Structure formats: C-alpha cells, structure tokens
Amino acid sequence: MIITNKHHLPSMLKRAIEKEYTYRDKRYSITSLLDPDRVIMLKRRHNDEIEQDVTDLIFALLGTKTHFELEHIDLLENEHVEDHLEYTFENGYTLSGIIDHYDDTYLDDYKTCKAFTLIFKSDYDKWKKQLQMGAYLAYKKDGKWRKKGRIIAILKDWNRLKAQTEKDYPKFACKVVNFNLGTPKEVEKMILARFDRIIELEKMSDKDLPLCTPEERYNTGDKYAIKKKDNKRASKIHDTLEEAQKHLNNLEKDYQGAYEIEKREGENRKCMEYCSVCKFCDFYKEIVEKEEEEK
C-alpha cells in the first residue's frame, strides 16, 4: 500500500502510520477474513497500487499507541500481550493474527471506536468472530481454550454531557463488551468454511467477485420523494414507497396530477468515503459514471 501525505502534515505522522505487510500465498490474517469477499481479493491483488492518505488513517495512531503501551507493562503469570500467532490447516492455508492480550481465562482485543458503534452494536458480530479466531490460534499454541472473550472499547468521541442526558449513550469513555466464544470445534468449522470460500474467490476475476451487501456498503437505503412535476426539490421524503403513495393519494384530492413520486437510491457511503479498494471495483466505477452523467 502507498501512503500519501497530500495535505503536508508533519512527516513523522506518515512515518508512524507506514508499516510493511507482505501478502503471502495461502496466508490470511484474522482481520482480512472479516472483510467482505470482494474487498479481500481486491486488497491482495492490488496492494502495490492502493493509495491512502495520512489524513484517512490518522485515527489508527490511537490504536497503535494503546498497543504500544500494552507491550511495555509488567505481565502477570500466564499473561501474554501482542502475541503473533499462526496456524496452518491441512488444506495448506494459514491463519495469522496478533492477539492483544490473553491469560488462562480471557482473550481480549482493544478497540478505538465511536460511541454509535456501541449504541447500535454494529460491529459486535465481527468482534466476536475476531475473538473466536484469536482464541483458536492461542488454543493451537498451548492447548488451552478460552471461552470468554472481551472487547475493550475506547471511545474516541465520548461526550460527558450525552452520557449524563441520553439513556442509551455509553456512561464512560471505555466499555468492556463480553462474548461467549463457543467451542474449538465450532470455531474451526467457521474458519475452514471461510477458507473454502476463499478458494472459490481466488479462481474468480475481479469483475466476477460477488458484490458487497448493502450493509457492507453502508447503504443508507432508498428514499421516496414527493415533489411537484418538473421540480427537482422534494416537498417531503419518505422511507418507504407505501408512505409516499399514501401522501400522494392525499395530495391528489386537491392537486390532481400535480405531484409525483421520485425514487432516490440510497448512498453507498463506504464505497464513496471509506473503501481503500474502490478504484479497482467495477461497482464503484459505475456509481461514479452515473453521477457524472446526472450532473
């Protein structure tokens, strides 16, 4: 990956973010297996061409600082931090990962995230799978299964006033989220199923890779605008076609034929704002081309 500094931030920030990661055949990290199918393949195939700017990665430094501090604490007996682990399965594929912290009971991962992640539990499924795969690697190392996993979430946008006034807002700037990690057999089955899928994906061309789901694209959902005919501006926007149709039916009583329903497709926010491989994705290119045509 190429790290740029288009806005001329201090060079030390760029150097702090830059790090080498070499993709090896049949070797996949825990975090990469959690990516959507298309993203996994495009990242590996176009790693030397992908560009990201320092400004897009600046929050990664917060997580790096946390991990640095963990590596330099006095450890208790049977306690491990920042452990680099790998395991190769009979199919020849290797799972790799860096485990933030584990002992004989718990396996932990530290996350810097935003408050809404906890409010909506948007990453909980991904977090659980990450902990499960980490626990599996630790199990293969020492034969001990940790069935308890914890995400230690550090909120980079925590607001004290919201914590005091909003019911569902996190009460503190740090929250521990607990997960039951199941059994080694269950987790191994999940990992092998993911590798079976990887084997299928490796045979596909870029254009034939399955599209990310609307959820993976952070799609905002289609909206239905009520507007006067020949006007661009909507008088009201509805979340469902049914709501919009009821509104139009009421308008028809007094303004027959004057209004219409216009479908406005949801925005794919991850594609447009956060995806590092978008320039190599046909779906993204089609979105950009369509927007250019509509200008």
Same domain, 70 and 143: yes
Same domain, 54 and 163: yes
What's the pTM value of the predicted model, to 2 decimals? 0.84
Same domain, 122 and 157: yes
Picking from 186, 208, 230, the residue at the C-terminal end of a domain is 208
Same domain, 180 and 243: no
Same domain, 86 and 231: no
Q: How many domains does one find in the chain? A: 2
Same domain, 175 and 231: no
Residue 275 lies in a domain: no
Provide the CATH number for the domain around residue 15: 3.90.320.10
pLDDT at 66: 66
Residue 271 lies in a domain: no
Same domain, 143 and 229: no
Structural domain range at position 108: 2-208
Picking from 185, 208, 231, the residue at the C-terminal end of a domain is 208
Same domain, 46 and 155: yes
pLDDT at 15: 75
Residue 215 lies in a domain: no
Other beta carbons within 10 angstroms of residue 100's beta carbon come to: 24
Same domain, 116 and 180: yes
Same domain, 236 and 192: no
Same domain, 71 and 101: yes
Distance between CA 209 and CA 217 in Å, rounded?
15
Residue 31 lies in a domain: yes
Residue 130 lies in a domain: yes
Residue 254 lies in a domain: yes
pLDDT at 65: 63
Mark residue 218 as left, alpha or beta (left: phi above 0; alpha: psi -120 to 50; beta: remaining).
left
pLDDT at 278: 93
Residue 185 lies in a domain: yes
pLDDT tens, N- to C-terminus, the chain (295 residues): 788 888 888 887 777 776 656 788 999 999 999 999 999 999 999 988 988 888 777 777 666 666 666 666 777 888 898 899 999 999 999 999 999 999 999 999 999 899 999 999 999 999 999 999 999 999 999 999 999 999 999 998 999 999 999 999 999 999 999 999 999 999 999 999 999 999 999 999 999 999 999 999 999 899 999 998 888 888 899 999 999 999 999 988 888 888 899 988 888 999 998 899 999 999 999 988 877 776 6
Complete DSSP assignment for the chain: -EEE-TT---HHHHHHH-------TTEEEHHHHTS-HHHHHHHHHTTTT-EEEHHHHTTHHHHHHHHHHHHTSPPPTT-EEEEEEEEE-TTS-EEEEEEEEE-SSEEEEEEEE-HHHHHHTTTHHHHHHHHHHHHHHHHHHHS----EEEEEEEETT--HHHHHH-TTS-SSSEEEEEEE---HHHHHHHHHHHHHHHHHHHTS-GGGSPPPPTTTTTB---EEEEEETT-SS-SEEESSHHHHHHHHHHHHHHSTTTEEEEEEPPPBHIIIII-TTGGG-HHHHHHHHHHHHH-
pLDDT at 9: 82
